Amino acid sequence: MILHKLLSRTSQIKWIPKWISVLGWFQYFKLLTSTTSKKNYLTFNLKGYNQPIYLRPNTSDYKIFKQIFIEEEYNVNYPDQVNTIVDAGSNCGYSVVYFKNKFKNAKLIAIEPDRSNIEMIKKNTSGIKDIHIVKGGIWDVNADLKILDKNAGKWAFRVVEASDNTKEFKGYSLEAIMLEHDLKTIDILKMDIEGSEKKVFEQNYQYWLSKTTFGFLELHETYAPGVTDLVYLRLRTFNFDISKSGENVVFSKR
């Protein structure tokens, strides 16, 4: 236990120069003391970004912020042309901000079921054009869904199909999302949907996967046993090269 804590602290120390590079000393100190903040959210200005970024203290926003802006898990080699992006499981919107900062002319569809997360997406992307927010979840077909584990926190919602009297939001197939938003292809697909990816890849995947060029998948084997083997099988069948970046499987059409 002691060794684990020491290793964890050491791994955090190595990121301090990057934190300071991105935020500066004053903002970094503000972040370190955020656990005592009574504010609903903190405001940060990031190097290389024109709009402020908002973070809710004592939430998973910190972890997501670190993964995206500090560890840069999405900093990989992308296709030459990126015109369309689908972000399934957008949470507080940091991935949306990252992609739109990198591909300013791309049309981005952000899909998120939680109302408070959607408000954060709107706040974090205020003034950024061509972002279309869909309140709902991604599923293999259009269906009514409900949250399975409401105590898991807003970053870890798992969903199941719901009856009429228990439905909480809509679930959409990726094919339906493409047709609704007139997407001929998906140049970048980012999917972090807490185990629902197994459902999405089990059936009705042929249309959207054949039209996808590149993407990031966070697989949740604990929530959906067998999902890793299933996803790798589908990706190889459709001739994708597969690699890893942080917690994400990265796939790219050959």
How big is the chain, counted in residues? 254
Identify any residues that bridge with 215 across adjacent strands, giving them in sequence order: 189, 251
Is residue 3 pLDDT above 60, yes or no?
Answer: no
Over residues 75-104, the mean pLDDT reads 97
Report residue 6's pLDDT band, with 50, 70 and 90 as the boundaries: very low
In degrees and rounded to multiples of 5, residue 89 shows phi and psi of 90, 60
CA–CA gap between residue 128 and residue 116 (Å, rounded): 19
pLDDT at 92 over 90: yes
Amino acid identity for residue 94 in this structure = Y
Q: Which of 149-158, 225-234, 240-249 has the lowest mean pLDDT?
A: 149-158
The pTM of this model reads: 0.91
Domain boundaries, the chain: 1-68, 72-253
- Report, as an integer, the average pLDDT of 81-93: 97
Q: How high is the mean pLDDT of the chain? A: 91
- Distance in angstroms (rounded) separating the CA atoms of residues 135 and 165: 19
Place of tokens 């955090």: 12
* Segment 145-201, tens digit of pLDDT: 887 765 555 555 667 777 777 788 899 999 999 999 999 999 999 999 988 999 999
CATH tag, 72-253: 3.40.50.150
CA 18/CA 234 separation, integer angstroms: 36
